[in-house]
Amino acid sequence: MLPKKDIILIKHLVLNKSDEAHKILANLHPADIAEILNEIKNGNKKLFLHMMSSSKAAEVLEELDPADSLQILEEMSEEETIKILENMSVDEIIDLIQEMPTAQAERLLMKLPQEDYEELKELLKMAEDTAGGLMTTDYVYIFSDETVSQAIEDVRQFGQKAETIYYLYVVDNKKHLQGVLSLRELISAPRDKKIHEIMHKKVISVNVDQDQEDVAKIISRYSLLAVPVVDNENRLLGIVTVDDAMEVLEAENTEDIHKMAGITTEEDVILTSTIWGASKKRIFWLIVCLFGDMLSGKVIDGFSHVLESVVAVAFFIPVLMATGGNIGTQSLALAVRGIATEELNRKNIFQFIIGETLAGLQLGIICGALISVISYIWQKNAQLSLAVGLSMCISLMLAALIGVLIPLIFNMFNIDPAVASGPFITTVVDITTLIVYFTFAIYFIDIISPNMVGFARLGLEGVLA
Amino acid sequence: MLPKKDIILIKHLVLNKSDEAHKILANLHPADIAEILNEIKNGNKKLFLHMMSSSKAAEVLEELDPADSLQILEEMSEEETIKILENMSVDEIIDLIQEMPTAQAERLLMKLPQEDYEELKELLKMAEDTAGGLMTTDYVYIFSDETVSQAIEDVRQFGQKAETIYYLYVVDNKKHLQGVLSLRELISAPRDKKIHEIMHKKVISVNVDQDQEDVAKIISRYSLLAVPVVDNENRLLGIVTVDDAMEVLEAENTEDIHKMAGITTEEDVILTSTIWGASKKRIFWLIVCLFGDMLSGKVIDGFSHVLESVVAVAFFIPVLMATGGNIGTQSLALAVRGIATEELNRKNIFQFIIGETLAGLQLGIICGALISVISYIWQKNAQLSLAVGLSMCISLMLAALIGVLIPLIFNMFNIDPAVASGPFITTVVDITTLIVYFTFAIYFIDIISPNMVGFARLGLEGVLA
């Protein structure tokens, strides 16, 4: 979001080691410095970090992708690296260490102060995509039997490195989570009250093993600035803050969009280092659908006598398949998003299914009428036009229904509805559309045989064979 | 997120006006009560609100969709409504009033205290999807020439109704934004210092007319809890808080997914009251693509002598078109999401395009080999298998390239890349794939005429005619 000319100027000043650069960097927000670093050649990035304090450098690295941060740190000496790590927040160090080869990570960890070492070792055991993997241990807790003035003193003393001090989590002497108090409430409370007299006893907390998407949704749902993470005995382990929750939501949205396009990936990186890395996350649905679409070919095979008799029937296969696929994908997008945002619930689900099907029928009538007219102008064959138009109408209605039903059914069986990707829906719709089309074609078009009903049966038997 | 049995129990207690219901509702989070309300018949919803204080009722309504809140308020008396409105935050009242018919809104506004009335009238003038439409005026500001202890007193006094007091915005006596201070810094500063001595002079702020998506991205980028909104003279008008930013990000993500599926909509509602409401947002891309796919028909027409000679060529049209469309959609999803999250930048864009194209080629080789084998087993026609396999290979590479290039080009011209929806990409890919396929078919398959090169030219001329 920095203007491009500012970026160029700052780059220039730093690369020439100008004195002014120190001052400019000190005044820039870490997120902006990170943006400039993304535009700099790898070898030159460390020049930037050398021009600022370790604490500022730590903040800048926290804004970068862990993989990029690691690359910069590898160019620096080990002492420098340790100095910067000591200034980073715990959750960010974890992200970084997870990118390193184990031996290097262990070497670095050993050089950190003993207590940091042990804390980090504990955190590294947590699964990356859970509350435990997301949380930070830089937070403030206060004891339920303290007085307000003792608690304020605690906040003063331990609040410096904490990620947030606006929520104060109250624990007993075994660190069981007892309650919560906002800083606002603490400072306006009488100084001699005990914390347990004024705290909120109902605390929204998450379990350390809970999925990170759930954690983000809870923070969003209850409009929290942070949520405490506890173990199965309700002992306080850390907190997840709202800025991390926002990042998770963005990453999960990316994952949803990718899944809907039939890309199966656990990582949210867009540039993979090898071509096969880019291919392998796409191959699964491609192959599944390839076999599915062979069935479409089988349908055409089953009705090939129709094509042999009236080749113009083939001209409308693409438009029917494509329009059906489009409607199916639209309905899928509405259903997947409705499930994700919880707008679809037990109360309105039938209304949604019926509404979508009727919308599909309405769009089918419009598109069917249009394609009838166009095909008549083009081919001057009234029977063909009738078959094409009616097929469009019926297949669009079916496509809309398929597009909503499949993700809803997946969801019922607790399968992520985004897995019912666009490619999958399109394949199912393609097969349906072709069967509808050829059936109408046989009924309406004078094909060699006069016995039309028999012909339709023949076609369907051909498909099933 | 409440267990279903709790919801049923609470519903039961409230509908029977049990004494216990008061206590349970008082202890429930407003977001949870809102969830229960969503499951209740309209006429019964007001029973819930009657069982709680106006301030709690206000918090519950803030969690509901504005349209749903309005429906409940309409069942209540005007005095009750005004009491609740007085307890709601300004930005939520605005959302509500925008749903009302003008006459009703005016009648309600008139009954509010004079100062609220004028403030609301001002806010109602702001466009809904800008910083001005999103901001609240319930915030705390302090003056730069105050002392720390005066400022603390201000926070105590005015902080009660504020949405956040953790960022204190510093203004001069004409309300120009001068700086910012966190509550944390304020309470740990010496009591006799002047605010301007300790404040941060660099404040990240947004203009009142800035798009709401930009505002949300700034809050996320700089990990803020709130951002101040100023007019063109840098006068402080309000603040946007992080919870509203999260809601905007979710809504914008929904919009992106819908756009990618070719749904054009300004609203984020999933259930529209009329069928035409559901249809009209989808008709645009359907019709555009319908005409596009007629070109695919035209391609088949141009090469119809191939079909007439070897009808089996038609059996592979669906699988080639569908696989190409799938790859194109996958590349589109990667490109659109990469642009949205700013992962794609000037530095890596060419690497991305080349990588995607090579991945397309690699997937083409795999799928091409597979389909060759399958088609040979099925049709026992080596020439046909060769044509199908090579077409798959080339058209998948082209599809991947089209899928990334079109959104990138749109973005270059400042058109929202999500507009280059899946349906549009699929249509372009379909036409390309058919031309590739029939060209190969003519070269490899023994068709009636021995002069194959001439035939290919004939086919392409047919398409262009």
Q: Looking at chain B, which residue has its C-alpha nearest residue A379?
A: B301
What is the per-residue pLDDT for B164?
Answer: 81
Q: Are A331 and A450 members of one domain?
A: yes
Q: How far is B322 from chain A (nearest CA, A)?
A: 7
Question: Taking residues B200-218, what's their average pLDDT?
Answer: 91
Write the DSSP assignment of A376-425 as a string of letters: HHHH--HHHHHHHHHHHHHHHHHHHHHHHHHHHHHHHTT--GGGS-HHHH
Task: Answer for the pair A371, A389: CB distance below 8 angstroms, yes or no.
Answer: yes
Q: Are B50 and B92 members of one domain?
A: yes
Which is higher by pLDDT, B46 or A457? B46
What is the per-residue pLDDT for B453?
Answer: 47
Q: Considering the domain boundaries, does residue A46 fall inside one?
A: yes
A contacts of B242 (beta carbons < 8 Å): 225, 242-243, 246
Q: Are B374 and B225 members of one domain?
A: no
Q: Of A125, A149, A166, which residue sits at a domain end?
A: A125
Q: Are A108 and A154 members of one domain?
A: no
Split into its structural domains, chain A has a count of 3
What is the per-residue pLDDT for B268?
Answer: 45
Using one digit for the tens of pLDDT, what is the confidence trace for B151-192? 988 888 887 778 788 889 999 999 999 999 988 888 888 889
Strongest mean pLDDT among A112-116, A456-460, B440-444 = B440-444
Q: Considering the domain boundaries, does residue A268 fall inside one?
A: no
Q: What's the CATH number where A207 sits?
A: 3.10.580.10
Q: Considering the domain boundaries, does residue B255 fall inside one?
A: no
Using one digit for the tens of pLDDT, what is the confidence trace for A87-121? 888 888 888 888 788 887 888 788 888 878 888 88
Nearest to A332 among B246, B261, B347 (CB): B261
Q: Which of B37, B148, B184, B285 to mutate to test the interface with A (most CBs of A within 10 A)?
A: B184
Tell how strand A177-182 and strand A167-171 pair up.
Answer: antiparallel
Nearest to A220 among B246, B285, B322 (CB): B246
Q: Which residues of A247-258 are buried (b: 16+ CB within 10 A; e: fewer)?
A: bbbbbbbbbbbb
Question: Which stretch of B89-93, B224-228, B293-297 has the lowest confidence by average pLDDT?
Answer: B89-93
Q: Are B435 and B325 members of one domain?
A: yes
- Going by pLDDT thresholds of 50, 70 and 90, the confidence category of residue A268 is very low
Q: Looking at chain A, which residue has its C-alpha nearest residue B292?
A: A319
Q: Looking at chain A, which residue has its C-alpha nearest residue B182?
A: A166
Q: What is the mean pLDDT of chain A?
A: 84
Q: How far is B223 from chain A (nearest CA, A)?
A: 5
- Going by pLDDT thresholds of 50, 70 and 90, the confidence category of residue B457 is low
Q: Looking at chain A, which residue has its C-alpha nearest residue B249?
A: A250
Measured distance CA(B187)–CA(A283) in Å, rounded: 57
Tell how strand B226-230 and strand B236-241 pair up.
Answer: antiparallel
Question: Taking residues B326-332, what's their average pLDDT?
Answer: 89
H/E element, A177:
strand A177-182
8 Å CB contact of A275 and B358: yes
A contacts of B337 (beta carbons < 8 Å): 254, 257-258, 270
- Going by pLDDT thresholds of 50, 70 and 90, the confidence category of residue A20 is confident
> How many Cβ atoms are within 10 Å of A426's Cβ, its own excluded?
32
Using one digit for the tens of pLDDT, what is the confidence trace for B383-404? 999 999 999 999 999 999 999 9
Q: Considering the domain boundaries, does residue A88 fall inside one?
A: yes
Q: Are B371 and B280 members of one domain?
A: yes
8 Å CB contact of B249 and A250: yes
DSSP state of A282: H
Using one digit for the tens of pLDDT, what is the confidence trace for A407-428? 998 888 888 777 667 888 889 9
Q: Which of B319, B354, B380, B424 to mutate to test the interface with A (most CBs of A within 10 A)?
A: B319
How many CA atoms does the CB half-sphere of B268 hold within 13 Å? 19
Measured distance CA(A142)–CA(A180) in Å, rounded: 9
8 Å CB contact of B366 and A298: no
A contacts of B263 (beta carbons < 8 Å): 330, 333-334
Q: How far is A84 from chain B (nearest CA, A)?
A: 20
Q: Are A304 and A407 members of one domain?
A: yes
C-alpha closest to that of B367 among B388, B338, B346:
B388
A contacts of B290 (beta carbons < 8 Å): 319, 323, 367, 370-371
Q: Provide the 3-class DSSP secondary structure of residue A89.
A: coil
Give the CA radius of gyration of chain B: 31
Q: What is the mean pLDDT of chain B?
A: 84
Write the DSSP assignment of A429-449 as a string of letters: HHHHHHHHHHHHHHHHS--S-
Task: Answer for the pair A206, A131: CB distance below 8 angstroms, yes or no.
Answer: yes
Q: Are A380 and A422 members of one domain?
A: yes
Q: Which of A7, A42, A257, A345 to mutate to test the interface with B (most CBs of B within 10 A)?
A: A257
Measured distance CA(B385)–CA(B376) in Å, rounded: 6
Beta-sheet strand order (sheet of A167-171): A141-143, A167-171, A177-182
8 Å CB contact of B355 and A272: yes
Q: Are A290 and A247 members of one domain?
A: no
Given a cut of 50, whether residue B449 has pLDDT beyond it is: no
Q: Considering the domain boundaries, does residue A16 fall inside one?
A: yes
A contacts of B326 (beta carbons < 8 Å): 262, 285-286, 289, 422-423, 426
8 Å CB contact of A31 and B345: no
What is the per-residue pLDDT for A174?
Answer: 92
Nearest to B271 among A256, A348, A370 (CB): A348
Q: Considering the domain boundaries, does residue A263 fall inside one?
A: no
Nearest to B348 among A271, A316, A352 (CB): A271
Q: Are A293 and A416 members of one domain?
A: yes
Residue A258, Ramachandran bin (φ over 0: left; ψ between -120 and 50: alpha; else beta): alpha
B contacts of A329 (beta carbons < 8 Å): 261-262, 422-423
Q: Considering the domain boundaries, does residue A134 fall inside one?
A: no
Q: How far is A108 from chain B (nearest CA, A)?
A: 28
What is the per-residue pLDDT for B456?
Answer: 53
Q: Considering the domain boundaries, does residue A197 fall inside one?
A: yes
Q: Are A118 and A156 members of one domain?
A: no
Q: What's the CATH number where A76 sits?
A: 1.25.60.10
Token pair of B436 as six digits: 């590739």
Question: Taking residues B272-280, what's their average pLDDT?
Answer: 69
8 Å CB contact of A279 and B165: no
Nearest to A278 among B257, B321, B355 (CB): B355
Q: Are B116 and B202 members of one domain?
A: no
Q: How far is A15 from chain B (nearest CA, A)?
A: 18
CB neighbour list of residue B459: distance below 8 Å, 6 or more residues apart: B302, B303, B305, B306, B438, B439, B442
Given a cut of 80, whether residue A229 has pLDDT beyond it is: yes
What is the per-residue pLDDT for B452?
Answer: 46
Q: Of A72, A94, A125, which residue sits at a domain end?
A: A125
Q: Of A226, A256, A286, which residue sits at a domain end?
A: A256
Q: How far is A316 from chain B (nearest CA, A)?
A: 6
Measured distance CA(A209)–CA(A20) in Å, rounded: 48
Phi, psi of A241 (to 5 degrees): -95, 160
Using one digit for the tens of pLDDT, what is the confidence trace for A135-152? 988 888 999 999 999 998
Q: What's the CATH number where A390 sits?
A: 1.10.357.20
Given a cut of 50, whether residue A451 has pLDDT beyond it is: no
| Cα angle, residue A138 at apex, residues A50 and A237 outer, rounded to 5° | 145
Tell how strand B167-171 and strand B177-182 pair up.
Answer: antiparallel
- Going by pLDDT thresholds of 50, 70 and 90, the confidence category of residue B450 is very low
Print the domain residue range for B146.
141-248
